[in-house]
Structure 1
Amino acid sequence: MQPETDTAASWRTEIAATLKLSWPLVLANLLQMLIYAVDVIFIARLGEVPLAAASLAVSLFGLVLWSLSSLTGAVAPVIAAELGERAPALRPIRRATRMALWLGIIVGIGGMGICLLLGPISRATGQQDSIIGLSTDYNALLIWSMVPMILASVLRNFVAALGRPFFATAITAGGIVVNSIANYAFIFGNLGAPELGLRGAAIATILTTLATLAAYIVAIRLNRDLNRYHIFGRWWAPDWQRFRDIVRIGTPIALTVAAEAGIFGAAAFLMGKFGASQLAAHTLALQVAALAFQVPFGIGQAATIRVGFFYGARDSEGMKRAGWTAIIIGTGFMASTALAMVMAPELLLSIYVDPDAAKNAVLVSFAVRYLMIAAAFQLFDGLQAVAAGALRGLQDTRVPMWIAIFSYWIPGFGVALALGFATPLAGMGVWFGLAIGLTVAAILLIWRWGLREKLALTQRQ
């Protein structure tokens, strides 16, 4: 009976460790979404067209930002593996974090250039001229938040991997306050600020991002356990091997995120073909779905760190427990969000707009339909997010990248195009395509996780 007792205790310990690490990350992710929600809430007051214009700009900006943040985020499994092998690993972790910051600056500047293609992309996809003008004007300011956002993401991964995820929670909460005040001031001309409309929302984002980055730097410098790594010391000294390691592990992660975020971004451009109402409804429904997604996304981040720790320690049983624990917790939560979307869609939409207002009747009608489909793919969305996080802990990123690219862009985007433009379903057809892509990705990723031993993924290179 003793082995069974020990096994049960190990699983209970892992559940507790996963929850302890994941809840601050989940809360930080939700608070980050609330920062975006604040933008949507304020911009929505400007009208349908400004909201649609901001949606187009954020579709491209968000795609680039999340991809590049995921590239530099490869520092998390690298730090976790170093801790599992030889904690506290001061020098390896310091050098890895420094190289991730270097990489963040380099790719962030490149990302700004990519975002400047918004105008040509919008025209090529047949967006309305009024929306293009507003979106490119907004985007011209928004891109200046790119580099500090990526650097803040690196520091967030650093504090989380070292067991201080609550810093991310507190700092992100502070960001909501800064963003709310800045939007209130610069969009509508309050508190002595100029009335800048949609431009004001971009300025609010820049100010919030700079405040967030500064807060991480101060928190790390003031915390004795984090400051001993001296990640800001000798910042000019390169470690090209670790730079290459982060690029090697992170590039497939970035492409994976680009594949998933890309299909949602492309969906926004497809929805723009159906008019401002459907595009605005798509934006709101996607905000609700994305808000729910932050929970399995945070649990997936925790899975990367927990699995990565056991990967560094070469403990295959520990990897198994960490991965499956996170997968079960994440998928279980998404069942509750699916129920909420079915039972109270208008209540969820009321976070952003007044569903009873006559001017919002068409928008809300479309958004409710899209939420019904979002409810259907919640379980698969959570499953693929956590499974991908567990595989990243094994530094297995290349094959999951191809799984994502295939799933989202062949069956997913293919169905979206076919049902959206070759049938009367229009926007509903696009959302059915999104659901198919997520479902296929979840099935293939969980299959690979189940075969990790046979594929020798648990053997550290």
Structure 2
Amino acid sequence: MADKSISQTPWRDEARALIALSVPLIIGNLGWSGIAATDLLLLGRIGPDAVAAGSLGFNVYMAVLIFGIGLTTAASPLIASERGQRLHSVRDIRRTVRQSVWAASMICLPSWIVLWHAEHILILIGQDPELSAGAAEMVRALQWALLPYLAYMILRNFVAALERPMWGVVVTLIAVPFNALAGWVLIFGHLGFPALGLQGAGLASLSTAIFMFLGMAAVISLDRQFRRYHLFGRFWVADWNRFRTVWRVGLPIAVTLALEVTVFNAAVFLMGLIDRPSLAAHAIAMQLSALVFMVPMGIGQAATVRVGYFHGRRDPAAVGRAGWLALAFGTGFALCSATLLLTAPRFLVSGFIDVDLPANAHVTALAISFLSIAALFQLGDCGQAVGAGVLRGLQDTRVPMIFAAVGYWVIGIGVGTLLAFPLGMKGLGIWLGLASGLAVVAVLVIWRWTRRDRLGLVPH
């Protein structure tokens, strides 16, 4: 997209630019969800134990991957800001991409050591030894996907920061059937390959991660606009100041995402302390909420780029326009999604279980009640996702990390545990706690956004 947006840009043009950037990012997020679901669907054909072991293994891997994604997310606001500055932008952007890959490589070695011992970790936290062994079989193949996938994410952030995110969508959407084919071949043993089961699922995801990285690398090497950055030239040359900047911006994002993911993992554990129907209903409601979350997540990612671009241009008026429009879009979507969750919960739950079966009546009722709370926290969830996105565009990540720690763990888990157990609200109490935590984080990040000028977050 041409760099035509300056301080006189009307609100309508900024809205169009934000939508044009958000939609491909949302589609890309949904595509990644499809990739993650494919392996579990294929493992379901083996049996419930394979699904359980695969889920355990995938969750261990995701805990590490999310941290890496958070760290490499720093590339997005940094590149957008460098693009806005224009002077030496090609050189600066190239160095940011290079040092982001260096940072990703740096965290892979300790991550691989941790993942190699997944079986011992799972047994240590009380998981079934047989399922833990199966999970480790998958993880020991899957763990090698970490570096190529993080490298792909950095390249995706690069093309998104240049406001050409559609290439990331194309690669992701091709990767969905590629992963399904690789899983079919390696899990069940087709086309002359042996049936590898859980290990095959890990190898399929590894193959897909390599495919996605090579796909983005090919696009960047062949496209004229991308090629001029020479991203892959002299990759061994260090830029220690920029390397430290990537860590300064990215580490708080990594911790924030880790706090967010682990709080929902903790909610699963708390549900397990109640009863199996509550755990099953929670899984259904959370799957729906996670699917809905892909939209505000995409809006937040787009806001990071747009705000970051104007941050580099030192244009406070345009920064405000981009941020407020993103928050308005997030709020509008939250109202729509809340309406859907409130008016059609039974229909939504029917996509996961037979709601007319008497044996499922209790789980159905619980899932519907959880979705009513999910409707309430749509505003909080969208607010915190988009609010964090606009602050990342200003390279403001440390204080939002503290907000996340307080909101997710002190408020979310604290209130949820209090309501669920001492006050006897059970699963509904846990969901009210999560809603409270999300609301607190949303209020805090938006409050900080309103004070951006006083806090000196916007250069003039």
Q: 1:113 Cα deviation (Å)?
A: 2.9
Q: Which residue of 1 aligns with 2:167?
A: 167
**What is the distance in 2 between the residues matched to 1:194 and 1:205?**
17
Q: Which residue of 2 aligns with 1:96?
A: 96
- Give the 3-state SS of the residue equivalent to 1:215 in structure 2: helix
Question: 1:60·1:265 contact (CA, 8 Å) conserved in 2?
Answer: no
- Give the 3-state SS of the residue equivalent to 2:231 in structure 1: coil
List aligned pairs for 1:399-438, cutoff 5 A.
399-422=399-422, 424-438=424-438
Give 1:89's aligned amino acid: S
1:371 aligns with 2:407: no
Structure 2 vs 1, CA of residues 226 and 91 (structure 1 numbering), >3 Å: closer, same or farther? same
Give 1:454's aligned amino acid: R
Q: 1:456 Cα deviation (Å)?
A: 1.4
Q: 1:394 Cα deviation (Å)?
A: 0.7
Q: Which residue of 2 aligns with 1:3?
A: none
**What is the distance in 2 between the residues matched to 1:48 and 1:370?**
25
Q: 1:141 Cα deviation (Å)?
A: 2.5
Q: Which residue of 2 aligns with 1:232?
A: 232
- Give the 3-state SS of the residue equivalent to 1:338 in structure 2: helix
Question: 2:7·2:315 contact (CA, 8 Å) conserved in 1?
Answer: no
Question: 1:56·1:269 contact (CA, 8 Å) conserved in 2?
Answer: no
Q: 1:256 Cα deviation (Å)?
A: 1.1
Give 1:169's aligned amino acid: V
Q: 1:144 Cα deviation (Å)?
A: 1.9
Output one character per residue of 1:381-434: Cα deviation in whole Å (capped at 9) or x when no partner.
011100101001111111111001111110111123334444554444333322
Question: 1:278·1:427 contact (CA, 8 Å) conserved in 2?
Answer: yes
Output one character per residue of 1:58-107: Cα deviation in whole Å (capped at 9) or x when no partner.
33322321221111110111111111111671111111101111111111
Q: More displaced, 334-343 or 170-179?
A: 334-343
Give 1:139's aligned amino acid: V
Structure 2 vs 1, CA of residues 284 and 45 (structure 1 numbering), >3 Å: closer, same or farther? farther
Question: 1:52·1:280 contact (CA, 8 Å) conserved in 2?
Answer: no
Give 1:451's aligned amino acid: R
1:251 aligns with 2:219: no
**What is the distance in 1 between the residues matched to 2:260 and 2:353?**
27
**What is the distance in 1 between the residues matched to 2:306 and 2:127?**
44
Give 2:408's aligned amino acid: Y
Q: Which residue of 1 aligns with 2:55?
A: 55
Give 1:226's aligned amino acid: F
Q: 1:23 Cα deviation (Å)?
A: 1.1
Give 2:36's aligned amino acid: Y
Q: Which residue of 2 aligns with 1:138?
A: 138
Structure 2 vs 1, CA of residues 351 and 108 (structure 1 numbering), >3 Å: closer, same or farther? farther
- Give the 3-state SS of the residue equivalent to 2:236 in structure 1: coil
Structure 2 vs 1, CA of residues 356 and 212 (structure 1 numbering), >3 Å: closer, same or farther? farther
Structure 2 vs 1, CA of residues 54 and 350 (structure 1 numbering), >3 Å: closer, same or farther? farther
Q: 1:55 Cα deviation (Å)?
A: 3.1
**What is the distance in 2 between the residues matched to 1:56 and 1:407?**
26
Give 2:453's aligned amino acid: E
Structure 2 vs 1, CA of residues 189 and 356 (structure 1 numbering), >3 Å: closer, same or farther? farther
Question: 1:310·1:318 contact (CA, 8 Å) conserved in 2?
Answer: yes
Question: 1:63·1:265 contact (CA, 8 Å) conserved in 2?
Answer: no
Question: 2:7·2:317 contact (CA, 8 Å) conserved in 1?
Answer: no
Question: 1:300·1:385 contact (CA, 8 Å) conserved in 2?
Answer: yes
Structure 2 vs 1, CA of residues 245 and 335 (structure 1 numbering), >3 Å: closer, same or farther? same
Question: 2:412·2:436 contact (CA, 8 Å) conserved in 1?
Answer: yes
Question: How many residue pairs are counted as aligned between the two chains?
Answer: 455
**What is the distance in 2 between the residues matched to 1:297 and 1:358?**
37
Q: Which residue of 2 aligns with 1:329?
A: 329
Q: More displaced, 204-213 or 264-273?
A: 264-273
Structure 2 vs 1, CA of residues 429 and 186 (structure 1 numbering), >3 Å: closer, same or farther? farther
List aligned pairs for 1:3-402, cutoff 5 A.
10-86=10-86, 89-116=89-116, 118-273=118-273, 278-279=278-279, 281-349=281-349, 366-402=366-402
Q: 1:289 Cα deviation (Å)?
A: 1.3
Question: 1:41·1:352 contact (CA, 8 Å) conserved in 2?
Answer: no
Question: 2:315·2:459 contact (CA, 8 Å) conserved in 1?
Answer: no
Q: More displaced, 302-311 or 33-42?
A: 33-42
Query: Normalising to structure 1: TM-score of the pair?
Result: 0.90
**What is the distance in 2 between the residues matched to 1:383 and 1:403?**
13
Output one character per residue of 1:5-61: Cα deviation in whole Å (capped at 9) or x when no partner.
x99961111111111111111111111112123234334445544434333333332
Q: More displaced, 350-359 or 449-458?
A: 350-359
- Give the 3-state SS of the residue equivalent to 2:262 in structure 1: helix
Structure 2 vs 1, CA of residues 224 and 243 (structure 1 numbering), >3 Å: closer, same or farther? same
Q: More displaced, 212-221 or 42-51?
A: 42-51
Question: 2:83·2:89 contact (CA, 8 Å) conserved in 1?
Answer: yes
Q: 1:341 Cα deviation (Å)?
A: 2.6
Question: 1:59·1:268 contact (CA, 8 Å) conserved in 2?
Answer: no
Q: Which residue of 1 aligns with 2:3?
A: none
Q: 1:130 Cα deviation (Å)?
A: 4.4
Q: More displaced, 450-459 or 319-328?
A: 450-459
Give 1:209's aligned amino acid: A
- Give the 3-state SS of the residue equivalent to 1:164 in structure 2: coil
**What is the distance in 1 between the residues matched to 2:14 and 2:425?**
45
Considering only aligned residues, what root-mean-square deviation do their CA atoms show, in Å? 2.7
Question: 1:26·1:298 contact (CA, 8 Å) conserved in 2?
Answer: yes
**What is the distance in 2 between the residues matched to 1:365 and 1:198?**
34
Structure 2 vs 1, CA of residues 147 and 75 (structure 1 numbering), >3 Å: closer, same or farther? same
Output one character per residue of 1:316-348: Cα deviation in whole Å (capped at 9) or x when no partner.
101100000011112211222222233334544
| Percent identity (aligned) | 42
- Give the 3-state SS of the residue equivalent to 1:395 in structure 2: coil
**What is the distance in 1 between the residues matched to 2:79 and 2:210?**
25
Q: More displaced, 90-99 or 434-443?
A: 434-443
Q: More displaced, 166-175 or 435-444?
A: 435-444
Q: Which runs of 5+ in 2 are unaligned?
A: 1-5
Q: More displaced, 58-67 or 121-130?
A: 121-130
Question: 1:127·1:269 contact (CA, 8 Å) conserved in 2?
Answer: no
Q: More displaced, 139-148 or 183-192?
A: 183-192
Q: 1:251 Cα deviation (Å)?
A: 1.0
Query: Normalising to structure 2: TM-score of the pair?
Result: 0.90
Give 1:115's aligned amino acid: L
